[in-house]
Amino acid sequence: PERPSDYPHVLTLSGTLIDTVDEVLENAPNPENAERPLAALGTRPALLDGYRALSPDGREHLLADKAWRCGHLPRPILTPASDAFAERCAERVRRHKARSPLIGDWLEQGLDLDPLPDDETALTAVIALTAAVHLDVKRDGRRRRQGLKR
């Protein structure tokens, strides 16, 4: 599939979001209850500017990538609107995965994520999807460590 023309910027913002979410989760007393600081990231000017600088195709690609990686994982609910949009993205992924296990096929056929919500809602949904993956990794690590201690 063809990548958006600003794909390098999509990757840069994705990496920045991963690092920022990791930082919030590392500094939270309880990462499982870090909804408030995670939600605040959706209004952070530098992150919003990075998101707004993406082309419409770049925004969809970022959302699609995060939704695909999140899959069926439980997400933190950061705002009602961002959660509803993240769920809509996750539903699109579930429907597509029933037909093909390849994200490339989905990208080629069209993401069907339009209309995108306002920038803060969309960015907050991306943050929730990113956090879901990182929280799952942390949970898995805890389960493994607890299994080793037994």
Cα 21 to chain centroid distance, Å, stands at: 10
93 compared with 150, residue with greater pLDDT: 93
Residues 6+ apart with CB under 8 A from 1: 104, 107, 108
Q: What are phi and psi of 56, to 5 degrees?
A: -55, -40
> pLDDT per residue over 121-149, tens digit each?
999 999 999 999 989 988 877 777 777 66
Q: Yes or no: say if 79 and 39 are a contact pair by the CB < 8 Å rule.
A: yes
| Category of 102 on φ-ψ map: left (φ > 0), alpha (ψ -120 to 50) or beta | beta
Q: Yes or no: say if 42 and 78 are a contact pair by the CB < 8 Å rule.
A: yes
**pLDDT mean over 40-58:** 96
Would the pTM of this model clear 0.85, i.e. be above it? yes
Q: Can you say whether the dihedral through the CA atoms of 101, 104, 109, 114 is positive or negative?
A: positive
pLDDT attached to residue 106: 76
What are the structure tokens assigned to 34, written together? 């870090």
